[in-house]
Amino acid sequence: MLKKEDATEIRDHALTAIKELMTLFHFAKDKCSPEQHERIKRGVGLSIGKIQMEILEVINQAYPELDDLIEPAADGPVMGNDAVS
């Protein structure tokens, strides 16, 4: 079983990889032809998709609270200004 601290580290490495891929994508934009940039864009998109579906989903299934895309519940302990006391 994957321990939570190990899952957190794996998640952090995966998110860093996604950030690096986005940096690569933006760096390449003005450095190559439009056709080359489209190929790079596709490669970056496919790579990010693989990281999300084959790494982050494993982590998120084991520890849903580590999923950075989940919104906090509206009925959670923090309430808006219109809360009734």
Measured between alpha carbons, how far is 40 from 29 in angstroms, rounded to an integer? 9
Q: Are 66 and 11 in contact (CB under 8 A)?
A: yes
* Rg of the chain over all Cα atoms, to the nearest angstrom: 18
Give the list of residues 6+ apart from residue 51 with CB closer than 8 angstroms, or none.
Answer: 14, 17, 18
Helix 34-51 with 4-28: angle, nearest 10 deg = 170
Per residue in 50-81, pLDDT (tens digit) is: 999 999 999 999 999 999 776 655 555 444 44
The confidence score (pLDDT) of residue 68 equals: 77
pTM metric for this prediction: 0.77
Q: Which two tokens stand for residue 66?
A: 């580590």
